């Protein structure tokens, strides 16, 4: 198995992977849209492959202050084989090369299996309240001047 950056030829396979692993994802996380939007910002999408098969993938982000991991996914038949660990470690290594010193991620509070996975990689729960707000498509913010 090798970990490499996403290539355009991987798009349909990655869409299928994320839809399979995250079947109840909200509409704003539609994989095709997420991939296109991410590639407009940077290329921090990684895939794990064996032969010509993509076994897993993850997306990383870095804002200059801290890094984030998103959509870490491994096909069910390849879980507990080290694929997820290698993906996360690879993404963290790439973030470190960019100057990142702290990596965050969010998981659903009910997902105890994935919480145990991240704990095994050294992640610890933090006392935070995660909040979010979807912005309406027609919203335009303008700079206020005096």
Domain assignments of the chain as residue spans, ordered by start: 2-120
65 DSSP assignment: S
Looking at residue 55, its pLDDT comes to 96
Q: Which of 83, 122, 130 is nearest to 106 (CA)?
A: 130
The answer, as to whether pTM is greater than 0.85, is yes
Residue 86 is classified by DSSP as: H
**13 touches 67 (CB < 8 A):** no
CA angle centred on 125, ends 24 and 55, rounded to 5°: 45
| 30-34: average pLDDT | 93
pLDDT at residue 66 tops 80: yes
User: How much is the pLDDT for 145?
Assistant: 66
Say if residue 140's pLDDT is above 80: no
3 state SS of 17: helix
Q: What is the mean pLDDT of the chain?
A: 92
Q: Give the least confident one: 36-40, 45-49, 61-65, 141-145.
A: 141-145
**Is 137's pLDDT higher than 90?**
no
Looking at 50-54, 73-77, 106-110, which range is the least confident one?
Answer: 106-110
| Strand, helix or coil for residue 71 | strand
Residue 140 is classified by DSSP as: -
From the list 120, 65, 70, the residue with the least C-alpha distance to 91 is 70
User: What gap in Å lies between CA 65 and CA 67, rounded to an integer?
Assistant: 7
In CATH, the number for domain 2-120 is 3.40.630.30
Pair 83, 55: CB distance under 8 Å: yes
> What percentage of the chain exceeds 90 in pLDDT?
75
Q: Residue 47: which of 81, 76, 8 has the closest Cα? A: 8
Task: Tell me the mean pLDDT in the region 140-146.
Answer: 68
Q: Measuring CA to CA, which residue among 42, 50, 38, 48 is closest to residue 17?
A: 48
């Amino acid at each position: 198995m090798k970990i490499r950056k996403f290539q355009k030829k991987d798009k349909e396979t990655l869409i299928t992977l994320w839809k399979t692993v995250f079947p109840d994802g909200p509409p704003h996380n539609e994989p095709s849209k997420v991939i296109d939007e991410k590639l407009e910002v940077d290329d921090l999408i990684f895939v794990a492959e064996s032969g010509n098969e993509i076994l897993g993938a993850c997306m990383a982000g870095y804002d200059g202050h801290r890094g984030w991991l998103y959509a870490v996914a491994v096909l069910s038949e390849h879980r507990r084989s080290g694929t997820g660990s290698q993906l996360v470690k690879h993404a963290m290594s790439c973030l470190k090369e960019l100057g990142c010193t702290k990596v965050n991620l969010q998981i659903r509070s009910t997902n105890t299996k994935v919480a145990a996975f991240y704990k095994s990689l050294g992640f610890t729960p933090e006392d935070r309240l995660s909040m979010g707000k979807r912005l309406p498509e027609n919203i335009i913010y303008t700079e206020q001047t005096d």
